[in-house]
Amino acid sequence: MITEQAPGKLYIAGEYAVLEQDCPAILVAVNQFIRVSITKSKSSTGSIHSKQYSQDSIHWVRRGAKMVIDNRDNPFEYILSAINLTERFCLEQHIKLRVYDLHVNSDLDSADGKKYGLGSSAAVTVATVKAILRFYNVPFSNELVYKLSAISHYSVQGNGSAGDIAASVYGGWIAYQTFDKKWLKRELTQKSLSEVVDEAWPGLKIQLLTPPEGMNLLIGWSQKPASTSRLVDETNANKAALNVEYKQFLQQSRKCVLRMIDGFEQGNIDLIKMQIRENRKLLQHFAQINQIAIEIPRLSKLINIAESFGGAAKTSGAGNGDCGIVITDEQTNINELEQQWRKNNVLPLDLHVHQVKLMQ
């Protein structure tokens, strides 16, 4: 039996803007994992097992006379897509395909169906790609895993920056810029998968960051689930109408995150905290012009409590639920802050940044 794992992630800054090229975001990988194990099947049929994934509801939308099921929150879709794509890659290497059983074990999805929003669809994609490559004895680099995972994930979700995939593959703190999706689509119709993953992808930038000493990351969970793909559908639909305002948001977010990256490079915690607060404001404005709720009241509570203890806080990811993050320095009374959170129905998550061992 072989087992591979991939960590969950959290956005620190640059959300929504990172969907466009040349707009950086900062993310971290956290020490909660999805593990995928593969054993060769004893018969001619295989299976996929998971303790945590039992689908008791589905989402659908009406398109004219038809009800269309939205499968983007279904983990099995990501697993199947990762298997198909990675096997296609293996076939191109003239590997003989086999039948197997696949077991998935996820810290990111609790048995009672509660999700913290730590990127479980990205992590399950990455863990599956790695497990399949290992099963077929294909040597892999982080870059190969990122590229195969990004293509499989995108073919299910249809939107998204793949920043969560990068965090899950590279670990630690990263600065990320997405690739040119139109270019990739075209390449995939004209070239083999092996050729496409060997190419440099225009726009893609993944840079490892070192956090300043004494800087701390706190994570609070709003206890409310949110759907990233549906929020991104809405903001995508508004892009054309918002035109200038949208472009302004992109430009301001870009500036803010680049300054934050400077903060990491200079080891300047105050500069990082300042940009967290700036990014919060930009996202509040973005929510307003899109008429969506990013910073819901529970998340505002989380942020305001953290700010009252001197932390710099904002929503993490698409918002509308899930988590908020706080950057603190040595002055912050973390125990007291977390106690206040609990009193207000925000659960502090005892997570740590997960470093992945370096593979080119």
- Are the beta carbons of 164 and 9 closer than 8 angstroms? yes
User: d(Cα 260, Cα 91) in Å, to the nearest integer?
Assistant: 43
Residue nearest to ligand PMV (CB): 317
- Running DSSP on this structure, what letter comes out for residue 321? S
78 near ligand PMV, judged by CB under 6 A: no
Choosing from 6, 8, 13, 16, the residue that interacts with ligand PMV (CB under 6 A) is 16
Whichever of 211 and 324 has its CB closer to ligand PMV, that residue is 324
Number of residues that this document lists for the chain = 360
Report the nearest approach of Mg ion to the CB of residue 73 (Å). Answer: 11
Choosing from 24, 160, 171, 212, the residue that interacts with ligand PMV (CB under 6 A) is 160
Q: Which stretch binds ligand PMV (CB under 6 A): 32-40, 157-165, 244-252, 346-354?
A: 157-165
Choosing from 126, 144, 209, 232, the residue that interacts with ligand PMV (CB under 6 A) is 232
Number of residues lying near ligand PMV (CB under 6 A): 16
Choosing from 21, 52, 161, 332, the residue that interacts with ligand PMV (CB under 6 A) is 161
Report the nearest approach of Mg ion to the CB of residue 317 (Å). Answer: 4
- Are the beta carbons of 199 and 188 closer than 8 angstroms? no
Under rule CB under 6 A, which residues in 89-148 are in contact with ligand PMV?
117, 119
DSSP letters, 18-83, are GGSTT--EEEEEEEEEEEEEEEE-SSS--EEEESS------EEEEETTEEEEE-TT-HHHHHHHHH
- Are the beta carbons of 9 and 28 closer than 8 angstroms? yes
Could you say which of Mg ion, ligand PMV, none residue 19 binds, taking C-beta under 5 to 8 angstroms by partner kind?
A: ligand PMV
Report the nearest approach of ligand PMV to the CB of residue 25 (Å). Answer: 7
User: d(Cα 277, Cα 359) in Å, to the nearest integer?
Assistant: 34
Could you say which of Mg ion, ligand PMV, none residue 166 binds, taking C-beta under 5 to 8 angstroms by partner kind?
A: none
Residues in the site for Mg ion, rule: CB under 5 A? Answer: 117, 226, 228, 317-318, 322
User: d(Cα 122, Cα 167) in Å, to the nearest integer?
Assistant: 9
- Are the beta carbons of 331 and 273 closer than 8 angstroms? no
Q: What does each C-alpha distance from 253 to 50, 162, 275 come to in angstroms? A: 39, 18, 10
Report the nearest approach of ligand PMV to the CB of residue 178 (Å). Answer: 8
Could you say which of Mg ion, ligand PMV, none residue 232 binds, taking C-beta under 5 to 8 angstroms by partner kind?
A: ligand PMV
Cβ neighbours of 78 (radius 10 Å): 26
Give contact residues for ligand PMV (rule: CB under 6 A).
11, 15-16, 18-19, 117, 119, 160-161, 163-164, 228, 232, 317-318, 322
